[in-house]
Amino acid sequence: TGIFLYVLFIQCIGIVSFIYSSYFVCKLISTIELRRKIYFTDVIGNLVTLLIPPIAVWIIHNKVKAIIENKINHKSKPDRSDI
């Protein structure tokens, strides 16, 4: 029973780590997209999406791609604040 409890403990740590890291990624994506203070209701959609990996790759990848393209487009335009 000792090894069983050890394995159960390690699995619980893994589950908690997965949930926290998923929450962090979803909160980061929502913060970049919305550009305001984020609440749990803003994150829950992405968090549920991450629980289903094929759908997560399909939806989250498009969001990250749009964020990256948006940043590239903003960097390529000249900054007019110094004129």
Mean pLDDT, rounded, for 50-69: 87
Query: Distance (Å, rounded) from C-alpha 32 to C-alpha 52?
Result: 22
pLDDT at 82: 46
CB atoms near residue 74 (< 10 Å):
9
- Between 53 and 75, residue with greater pLDDT: 53
Is the pLDDT at 62 greater than 80? The verdict is yes
The amino acid at 62:
N
Task: Give the pair of three-digit tokens for residue 74.
Answer: 């903003």
Is the pLDDT at 40 greater than 70? The verdict is yes
Instruction: Return the DSSP state at 14.
Output: H
pLDDT at 44: 92
Count helices and strands (H / E) in the chain: 3, 0
pTM over cut 0.75 = no
